[in-house]
Amino acid sequence: MLKLRAMFIVLTSLVRATLSFFKTQRELALENLALRHQIGVLKRSLGTRRVCLKPSDQKLWVVLSRLWTGWHQVLAIVQPATVIRWHRDGFGCFWASKFWASKSRRRDGRPELDGEVRAVFRSTVAKYMIRHRKPPSPTWRAFLDNHVKDLVSLDFFVVPTATFRVLFVLLILAHDRRRVLHFNVTSGPSAEWTAQQVVQAFPGDSIPRYLLRDRDCIYGKYFRHRVKNLGIEEALIAARSPWQNPYVERLIGSIRRECLNHVIVLNEQHLRRILHSYFQYYHRSRCHLSLEGDAPVPRSVQGPELGQGIELSEVGGLHHRYIREAA
């Protein structure tokens, strides 16, 4: 198997040597470094069943993936997804290092109570709690269902970059058709910036009745004042209860699983382009069970009488759209 890989790298080198006339000196230098490194790894791995990789090899490919857009085209010893996983593992180690752990370590506050004491407190409180005989108020799920056409939700999520920076993505989602009304990216969110995004998301007469959000401190006094002036009533979820904002949380999970977990983000502009491409696919092509298999932007059912099915690549090849077209 290793000999086959070595032969593949040699053949790849010959083909790329022919195409080298059309590349810049920087690209040629990076490609030469990548190919020489892989040949060295394969020589080191002769006599073994697996490719012997060191931490320095992983770091080299992570750096190459940040400096060179064509790195995945010459990679033969591992899959490109493996390099992306190395980068994410490095990001986790960076934030879990002793320096950042010391920054985030809690230094004050009350000492933790013993488990037996907490158990006594719970039993005592339960003993004297007032028992409500009236039926409970409508559930949170009933509120979401009853006002689905009047609700939009708002939330942030973070994305690490190739240089270990943290970018914040703001999403504003309409509940009725699961449409992304607005999104933007920033490295330093503030109440003023967030309020301006809400204003841009609802031009003219498109203002919703309710805005569903969590209790993050980013939504400060200035934000609340601007939202109130728009005529929007804020619906706040309980503290540490993201399940009460399910639609936008589910969308964030889909963005990670279907898009961001497969790419390395370089900067704010790069992330905006990626999300713009994904949301085009999300609105026009991605099916939703809650919409009876339809997309957020309704589309007609194409029967076999319309012609042969063809495949269209979307989101840089991560997903595909299938349509029928007459021959």
Tens digits of per-residue pLDDT, 167-192? 999 999 999 999 999 999 999 999 99
**Domain ranges (residues) in the chain:** 2-94, 140-291
Q: Is the distance from CB of 160 to CB of 185 less than 8 angstroms?
A: no
Domain 140-291, architecture per CATH: 2-Layer Sandwich (3.30)
Residue-level pLDDT at 2: 58
C-alpha dist (Å) from residue 228 to 36, 175, 180, 209, 280: 62, 20, 22, 11, 31
* pTM attached to this predicted model: 0.72
How much is the mean pLDDT over the chain? 85
Residue-level pLDDT at 47: 81
Q: Going by DSSP bridges, is the β-strand pair 179-186/166-174 parallel, antiparallel, or unpaired?
A: antiparallel
**Alpha helix (H) residue ranges in 153-303:** 191-201, 221-229, 246-258, 268-284
C-alpha dist (Å) from residue 326 to 168, 298, 300: 44, 22, 16
Residue-wise pLDDT for 298-327, tens only, equals: 988 888 888 888 999 999 999 999 888 876
Residue-level pLDDT at 301: 87
Residue 29 predicted with pLDDT over 80: yes
